[in-house]
A and B are shown apart, each in its own frame.
Chain A
Amino acid sequence: MRIGVVTFPGTLDDRDAARAVKYAGAEAVSLWHGDADLKGVDAVILPGGFSYGDYLRCGAISSFAPVMTEIIAQANKGMPVLGICNGFQVLCEAHLLPGALTRNHELHFLCRDQTLKIENTTSAWTTNFTKGQEIVIPLKNGEGSFQCDDETLKALEDSNRIIARYVGENPNGSRNLIAGITNERGNVVGLMPHPEHAIDSLTGPTTDGLPFFTSVLSALVGK
């Protein structure tokens, strides 16, 4: 199983994402933003960071990178795609996911261990969780407030497309405490907190992030 990890100029978490893929038992394949070539990977991760310096809007310029043309085409055919933090912003800008991520409501950049409640265990990236499971993984962003119109919010809620919610106080002003969502098909997932930083207790607060990466392998094997 080969999982691509995209590097844009300004990406920070590509190495940790690749490490998480290896921990899960798959091969990590580096993909470059400027190449419209997915190297035959089975799934793709858009990691966190500050691609293109967050210029214009977070993820806006990255969403037009040559590699994204291929990713959008494959995602629409069902290839699993996980966008973490900046990757989530890219997926929203690319219209693979609805809504948008805006400035944290208190304006501060946040960096802390965050408790989440897993709500959807049917997406390609969450089958190895149990519904209602609480996990602790790092949250670090300046623009993580999930916003969308009322109609979209209702559609997300009604079709069980909320992947995870923040537990406790709303850290960034996201509507309905949303930390992550998926598309209708369940193959594209965007998540604001960082599971790739929580796969080994030596380097992270927990190992709670690992099931995101093992779930996709189960999804691909079952295909």
Chain B
Amino acid sequence: MGKIVVDVMLKPEILDPQGKAVAAALPRLGFSFATDVRQGKRFEITVDGDVTPAQIAEVEKAAEVLLANPVIETFTVRSE
């Protein structure tokens, strides 16, 4: 079984209040390394057999119309 992974992130210019809340919580727990946190989404899509370039292309299309909103988000597609 192959796995295709789609990572979706808010565009850099879009405010990410969830990421900001996480960034604010880290120092309260003693973690002082973060200058910024952005939160995204990860989709893991399972397919039969090895992942083919055609399947990657199809998932890219699906990401464009459904998995991500290109108005506010960017995405990357890869096999794993």
Contacts and interface: CB of A to CB of B under 8 A. Distances in A.
A100 B15 contact: no
Interface string A164-199: 000000000100000000000000000000000000
Contact of A105 (B15, B69, B71): B15
Contacts of B34: none
B71 A60 contact: no
A145 interface: yes
A102 B21 contact: no
A215 to B, nearest CB: 28
A93 B66 CA distance: 9
Given A56-B66, A103-B16, A106-B17, 6 more contacts: A60-B69, A99-B71, A100-B71, A102-B10, A105-B15, A147-B71
25 contacts: A56-B66, A56-B67, A57-B69, A60-B66, A60-B69, A64-B66, A93-B69, A98-B71, A99-B71, A100-B71, A100-B72, A102-B10, A102-B14, A102-B72, A103-B17, A103-B18, A104-B17, A107-B17, A147-B14, A147-B15, A147-B71, A147-B72, A148-B71, A149-B13, A173-B17
